[in-house]
Chains A and B, each alone.
Chain A
Amino acid sequence: MIGLSPENLPTPRQEDWKYTSLSRAIPKKLVPEAAKSSILIHRNRGQICEQGEDILLTGQSGMLHSPVLKVVLEQGAELTLIERHEGVGSYWKNMDMEIILGKEAKFHHIRLIEDSVEAVSTLNTRIKMSESSFYSGFYLIQGGKLVRNEIHCLIEGEKAQCHFNGISLLQGEQHGDTTLCAEHKAQYTRSSQFFRTVLDDRARGVFQGKVYVHKNADKIEATQLSNALLLAEGTEMDTKPALEIYADDVKCTHGATTGKLDEAALFYMRSRGMSAQEARRLLIEAFVGGVVDKLEDEAVREIVYYKVQQWLKRRPDDI
């Protein structure tokens, strides 16, 4: 699988693109970047750095950006990467990322998507995992007119573990799509998917989560959960959880919910003196907090909470 190309855009007729229409969203007359930005991060065997990597990918109005990222961690290497997406005006950022994890390698991946609300951002990520390697991803989708965060994880080595967590905070006409596949090819592997989406105004969220278990990939454990909170009548959440299992001895769970804020809780809080807005903020923060608290790194957790609070402050007073 290779990244998208402007000449050959997927259409909603393709199963995987049923809920996300790219051709309509992509700005017209974009100029391709003169030189593709290409970043390679390589860690040698056993290399562990206290200091993580911090990458900023900025979009510029009128441009077609096609950055290519590659992360290679050799045996036993460890890395934390914070990947930030920002930009100004209308552009299309079409990123292709490849992550290769050697035996016992550990990768903590934090992706903060705060692209311009006029921009389209399609982030295509492929992960390959060797024996006993570890991947944890946290994805924040907060910006962009249309964001597609697509991840395909091939779990080839036994006892490898991957965890995918994310929150989406969308308002206005924003469209945020998380499409994810954990492909278990080896025994004793584990994967988890946990995503929470908050939609306001006329925003639309998509979660397509898949767990694919190959024949003979026994004793694997896979969990999948998507919860969405709809704050306004005009919002829409499309959820497609999928399990495709060809092995006999596996443990897989999945769940999906879509709902509104709890009216009983809101009244309880207001009866204690909080304004309706304050009560809503607390409840929304608690909702996404269920995922944010999975972040081990306290500093990162604080950054994400700060962003959540900023988002909540920007919400209009809707009483």
Chain B
Amino acid sequence: MIKINNLHATVNGKEILKGINLEIPAGEVHAIMGPNGSGKSTLSYVLAGREGYEVTQGSVTFEGQDLLAMRPEERAAAGLFLAFQYPVEIPGVQMSNFLKTALNSVRKQRGEDELDALAFLKLVKAKMRALGVHDDMLKRPVNVGASGGEKKRNEVLQMAMLEPRFAVLDETDSGLDIDALKVVADGVNSLRGADRSFLVITHYQRLLDYIKPDVVHVLADGKIVKTGGAELAHELEEKGYAGYTGQAA
């Protein structure tokens, strides 16, 4: 599905990613754990194509395509989705308008028919019911005044609408209490399937109790320093990142 090869990236001239190698086959869920400042969020932004994150070396191949040569919207259309750690508030833009514009942009790029207002509403309402998102949300401006839990649920709703092949969840657990965490995890789990892969980025093992990974990677100082099974997450929870960074995280 996605293959990251010797990826180096800088932000404001400072090298943050220092040679990442990672391959995620279709249908698998991989987790990346690491201390603050290890480059977790940088990796997610580089994959999504944010300006200011400069790739200096290496390659990313997504379903046979050169991901790094694509614009952010082309990546979305190709099936990449980033669930933001801090979903952005957009005053004045109604959620329904935002979602419909996004969905139809993606459908157009994928060569599918655009949905009319009625078909869109039917689809989004069904997805919202499944995720326990309140109808009000469609009329509200995107993420404005929403709680941490609502924002993360909103991210999962967007993911469910856009039906990506590969989703990156960037610290989706941050700012969530245990109930909200379960709801979000259930939403993600319902989207798991044989032809959809996930990269779950997190600081804590807690989220991985609910979204069970196939593989866990440890990221420290811009490199993957260890790879293992789900048990690696528990080990990290017990011992901390000290063994990987040379200092307590």
Check: B193 CB closer than 8 A to any chain A CB: no
Least CB distance, A92 to chain B, in whole angstroms: 36
Which residues of A pack against B, CB within 8 Å? 262-265, 267-276, 278, 282-283, 285-287, 289-290
Sample 6 A-B pairs with CB under 8 A, ordered by A number: A263-B51, A269-B98, A271-B48, A271-B76, A272-B105, A274-B102
Contacts of A263 in B (CB 8 A): 51
As a 0/1 sequence over residues 77 to 94 of chain B, the CB contacts with chain A under 8 angstroms (1 = contact) are 100011010011111110
Q: Given A275-B105, A278-B105, A282-B98: A270 and B71 within 8 A (CB)?
A: yes
Most chain B C-beta atoms within 10 Å of own C-beta, residue among A264, A269, A285: A269
Contact partner, A267, options B50, B81, B92, B141, Cβ 8 Å: B50
Contacts of A287 in B (CB 8 A): 92
Check: B38 CB closer than 8 A to any chain A CB: no
Inter-subunit contact A272/B162 (CB<8 Å)? yes
Inter-subunit contact A274/B101 (CB<8 Å)? yes
Most chain B C-beta atoms within 10 Å of own C-beta, residue among A262, A268, A274: A268
Inter-subunit contact B97/A273 (CB<8 Å)? no
Most chain B C-beta atoms within 10 Å of own C-beta, residue among A273, A283, A290: A273
Most chain A C-beta atoms within 10 Å of own C-beta, residue among B50, B109, B141: B50
Check: B73 CB closer than 8 A to any chain A CB: yes
Instruction: Compute how far the CA of A268 lies from the CA of B48 in the bound complex, rounded to whole angstroms.
Output: 10
Inter-subunit contact B102/A269 (CB<8 Å)? yes
Instruction: Compute how far the CA of A264 lies from the CA of B72 in the bound complex, rounded to whole angstroms.
Output: 13
Inter-subunit contact A283/B102 (CB<8 Å)? no
Contacts of A283 in B (CB 8 A): 90, 92-93
Least CB distance, B123 to chain A, in whole angstroms: 15
Contact partner, B76, options A262, A273, A282, A286, Cβ 8 Å: A273
Inter-subunit contact A273/B77 (CB<8 Å)? yes
Contacts of A271 in B (CB 8 A): 48-50, 72-73, 75-76, 81-82, 84
Contact partner, A290, options B71, B92, B162, Cβ 8 Å: B92
Inter-subunit contact B72/A270 (CB<8 Å)? yes
Instruction: Across the interface, name the chain B residue whose C-beta is closest to A289.
Output: B92
Contacts of A265 in B (CB 8 A): 88-90
Instruction: Across the interface, name the chain B residue whose C-beta is closest to A288.
Output: B92
Instruction: Compute how far the CA of A75 lies from the CA of B136 in the bound complex, rounded to whole angstroms.
Output: 43
Instruction: Across the interface, name the chain B residue whose C-beta is closest to A267.
Output: B50
Least CB distance, B193 to chain A, in whole angstroms: 20
19 more CB-based (< 8 A) A-B contacts, given A273-B102, A286-B141: A262-B90, A265-B89, A267-B50, A268-B84, A268-B90, A270-B71, A270-B72, A271-B50, A271-B73, A271-B81, A272-B102, A272-B106, A273-B103, A275-B73, A278-B101, A278-B105, A283-B90, A286-B90, A287-B92
Contacts of A278 in B (CB 8 A): 101, 105
Inter-subunit contact B84/A286 (CB<8 Å)? no
Instruction: Across the interface, name the chain B residue whose C-beta is closest to A282.
Output: B93
Least CB distance, A262 to chain B, in whole angstroms: 8
Least CB distance, B99 to chain A, in whole angstroms: 8
Least CB distance, B21 to chain A, in whole angstroms: 24
Contact partner, B87, options A268, A270, A274, Cβ 8 Å: A268
Q: Given A268-B88, A282-B93: A274 and B51 within 8 A (CB)?
A: no
Check: B158 CB closer than 8 A to any chain A CB: yes
Instruction: Compute how far the CA of A259 lies from the CA of B93 in the bound complex, rounded to whole angstroms.
Output: 18
Which are the 8 A-B pairs with shortest beta-carbon distances?
A: A286-B92, A273-B106, A273-B76, A272-B102, A270-B72, A268-B88, A273-B105, A286-B93
Instruction: Compute how far the CA of A272 lies from the CA of B161 in the bound complex, rounded to whole angstroms.
Output: 10
Instruction: Across the interface, name the chain A residue whose C-beta is closest to B75.
Output: A271
Instruction: Across the interface, name the chain A residue whose C-beta is closest to B72.
Output: A270
Instruction: Compute how far the CA of A267 lies from the CA of B84 in the bound complex, rounded to whole angstroms.
Output: 11
As a 0/1 sequence over residues 45 to 85 of chain B, the CB contacts with chain A under 8 angstroms (1 = contact) are 00011110000000000000000000111011100011010
Q: Given A263-B51, A278-B101: A270 and B92 within 8 A (CB)?
A: no
Contacts of B103 in A (CB 8 A): 273
Instruction: Compute how far the CA of A271 lies from the CA of B142 in the bound complex, rounded to whole angstroms.
Output: 14
Contacts of A269 in B (CB 8 A): 90, 98, 102
Inter-subunit contact B97/A282 (CB<8 Å)? yes
Instruction: Compute how far the CA of A282 lies from the CA of B82 in the bound complex, rounded to whole angstroms.
Output: 21
Instruction: Compute how far the CA of A272 lies from the CA of B72 in the bound complex, rounded to whole angstroms.
Output: 8
